[in-house]
Amino acid sequence: MKITVYNDWDHLPKAESEGEEEVVLAWDGEYRKGDIIEFSGITPGEFYVVKADACIDPALVLIKEETVLFTVPFYEKKTSYNPLAFFGNRHIVTIRRARDYKINSYKNLALNPFDQHEVSGVYPHASANVETRGEAVFAARNAIDGCIATLSHGEWPYESWGINRQDDAEITIDFGRKVDIEKIVLYTRADFPHDNYWVEGTFTFSDGTSEVVKMDKKIQEPHVFDIRRPGIDKLKLGNLIKSDDPSPFPALTQIEVYGRETGRD
């Protein structure tokens, strides 16, 4: 495997490192707009633990491509990340093959701080039919990045999935493989009185089943639902019904989906 940092306009390596089971790239220099972090030599269909920056949590991901390109965010695109991420003149990027104990454990199957808005082939992945004004701080990927600060909105750590007042808003979590779900947790944004909140929503699963859930509390704490579905590769949250509060701005800070890999004990 190999990690390479280069700029998209000239493709000249700024830093690179190689390894068999694990690659650690520690380098001195500054990121510039247009920089790419390339992870290559990947075996498609296997699990990896990827850490794109010292300020971003490691992500356990299933990768289905031989090469993954991570575009270093700048300006508006960076507002949903810790402002210290990709900053300064010393950096570390790592990737390693995931150990069996990590893969087989009971875990948040939706968690992926490495998720990118437009890149497929790395799972879990979040997407939606609407994101407020197309802004990074309201992108679907924010709902699976692990950040659960609900009491405000906008830049990190208050990034969320925003629905642009759209009544038919839906968010989809694609796991990229079959998983056994045991519990779903929703952190709805609670920046009151700016925010509204949902009183009801519907989970639709890839097996064709669905489940209506009630969220009839105006709270900052999570909504926890004991929902069991085996062999699911995607779920969708939609049919979201707002409360009668006057604000038009409900939003989702985080979705957590707990369970295990299908067929693994």
* DSSP per-residue string spanning 166-188: -TT--EEEEEEEEEEEEEEEEEE
Q: What is the pLDDT of residues 39-51, one digit of tens each?
A: 999 999 999 999 9
On whether the CB atoms of residues 247 and 188 are closer than 8 A, the answer is: no
| Domain extents in the chain | 2-104, 107-261
Residues 6+ apart with CB under 8 A from 138: 131, 132, 159, 160, 161, 162, 164, 251
CATH fold of 107-261 reads Jelly Rolls (2.60.120)
Query: Which residues are 97's β-sheet partners?
Result: 48
Phi, psi of 128 (to 5 degrees): -150, 160
Q: Which runs of consecutive H residues, i.e. helices, occur in the chain? A: 100-104
Percent of the chain with pLDDT over 90: 94
pLDDT at 265 over 70: no
> What sign has the CA pseudo-torsion 248, 78, 238, 254?
negative
User: Residues 79, 48: contact at Cβ < 8 Å?
Assistant: no
11 versus 34: which is more confidently predicted? 34
For 176, the token pair is 């990229």
pLDDT at site 264:
64
Question: So what's the pLDDT on residue 69?
Answer: 97
Mean residue pLDDT of the chain comes to: 96
Distance CA 144, CA 157 (A): 13
Tokens for 33, please give them: 């707009």
Place of tokens 């491509």: 65
Q: What is the pLDDT of residue 263?
A: 80
pLDDT over threshold 60, residue 100: yes
Query: What are the structure tokens assigned to 152, written together?
Result: 């405000």
Compute the average pLDDT of residues 231-255.
97
Give the confidence band of 120 by pLDDT, cuts at 50, 70, 90. Answer: confident
pLDDT at 118: 82
Is residue 205's pLDDT more than 60? yes
Q: How confident is the model at residue 145 (pLDDT cuts 50, 70, 90)?
A: very high
pLDDT above 70 covers what percent of the chain? 99
Q: What integer is the mean pLDDT of 225-232?
A: 98
- DSSP for residue 218: -
What tokens were used for 192? 């009151």
pLDDT > 80? residue 139 = yes
Q: Which 3 state secondary structure label does DSSP give 118?
A: coil
Q: What is the mean pLDDT of residues 197-222?
A: 95
Summarised one tens digit per residue, pLDDT across range 151-201 is 999 999 999 999 999 999 999 999 999 999 999 999 999 999 999 999 999
Amino acid identity, residue 55?
C
Across 85-113, average pLDDT: 97
